[in-house]
Structure 1
């Protein structure tokens, strides 16, 4: 049996990509952090809109010998390096995450990761072995997204592709659909309970190691 780790040494990086302070996405971030905190693990929040993160990958950020990240990316890379669980929270806009989230992938997660390394199936030195949790939301229903091929495209591009390209240990994706203004508080609370359960499960995996599939709820995708 795996010896439990000291929870105070376990860190989660929560990357939030929604501009609305009163949004359900912000509620997800707060709830996840609160639940992980109850388990005495550490979370750090990177609110991309709050810090006005620049999503544009500049020419001098392309992976070349002597690569040196810009200061904002260097600080983000330090956050990633310290974390074992990367948590992405974003809405689906026009079938994809917001540009600010894609820019985070380009500039931070993909920093100094070359096409040659990608084609050779070499994992990212910064991300290999880390775990990814995604919470996404959409105003449209899940069946509507599936009918138009958007759900499959997103899953392949952000779940399967990123996990394999960067050498992540796993990806657990929970999606909440039909998220619109004026949601019934009971509906919101039901969804936030799913967030709490997911936070507990992911924190447990980090502390105790991989658990038998029967003890873990299956990913919601």
Structure 2
């Protein structure tokens, strides 16, 4: 399988990086082809420029590469921290520039963009791994878990990826090495279940 793996965390020593590299190792060991992007390391430009908005515009080669990879992916894995109930800005910019009409979704003929899009992504499954310092009870009671809505309802469901899995690891600031090792075991298990060995 062809898997897109997207990481958005600026600290190379973060647990997000440990998650992403664990995912990379598991996928390669299972015989999958992995398109891995560390957005901060690559200095991905998150700004959506006006001339890039039209559906049939000529895209910057880097954006065209990302679009091609996501359109052809059999599976997608996203790794990022929970910052103010949202992905980091660099990842939001990646969504703005890559999850675009004609690539990830389209509108029905005669629909000028006011209707419900039809998903175009061929990925059979998506996994989102998050880290946070907010207790689960507070997250759900006060904030309503906005990351679940963003990734499942607003992005993957609308783009045709109906098998969705998400795992939030918390609380990072008080976690020890034993706890983090157990979390990485969970990462491995989730990936193997969603993307079995070739």
User: Structure 2 length as normaliser, TM-score?
Assistant: 0.88
1:122 positional shift: 3.6
Say whether the 8 Å CA contact 1:36–1:199 is kept in structure 2. Answer: yes
- Counterpart-to-counterpart distance in 2, 1:90 and 1:139: 13
Number of aligned positions between the proteins: 193
User: Which residues of 2 match residues 18-97 of structure 1 at below 5 A?
Assistant: 18-64=9-55, 66-97=56-87
Query: SS of the counterpart of 2:118?
Result: coil
User: Which residues of 2 match residues 1-221 of structure 1 at below 5 A?
Assistant: 10-64=1-55, 66-112=56-102, 116=111, 119-125=114-120, 127-151=121-145, 153-180=146-173, 183-204=175-196
Change in Cα spacing, 1:203 to 1:129, as seen in structure 2 (3 Å) is closer
Query: SS of the counterpart of 1:69?
Result: coil
Change in Cα spacing, 1:107 to 1:47, as seen in structure 2 (3 Å) is same
Query: SS of the counterpart of 1:194?
Result: helix
Q: Deviations over 1:47-93 (max 9, x none)?
A: 100111111111011134x3222222111112213321111100000
Query: SS of the counterpart of 1:96?
Result: coil
- Counterpart-to-counterpart distance in 2, 1:117 and 1:199: 38
Q: Considering only aligned residues, what root-mean-square deviation do their CA atoms show, in Å?
A: 2.1
Say whether the 8 Å CA contact 2:135–2:171 is kept in structure 1. Answer: yes
Q: Deviations over 1:137-170 (max 9, x none)?
A: 112221221121241x221222122122212232
Q: Which runs of 5+ in 2 are unaligned?
A: none
Q: Which runs of 5+ in 1 are unaligned?
A: 1-9, 208-221
1:36 positional shift: 1.7
User: Structure 1 length as normaliser, TM-score?
Assistant: 0.79
Deviates more, 1:50-59 or 1:137-146: 137-146
Q: Deviations over 1:4-49 (max 9, x none)?
A: xxxxxx1111000000100000000011111122212222211100
- Counterpart-to-counterpart distance in 1, 2:147 and 2:10: 21
- Counterpart-to-counterpart distance in 2, 1:59 and 1:123: 24
Say whether the 8 Å CA contact 1:69–1:111 is kept in structure 2. Answer: no
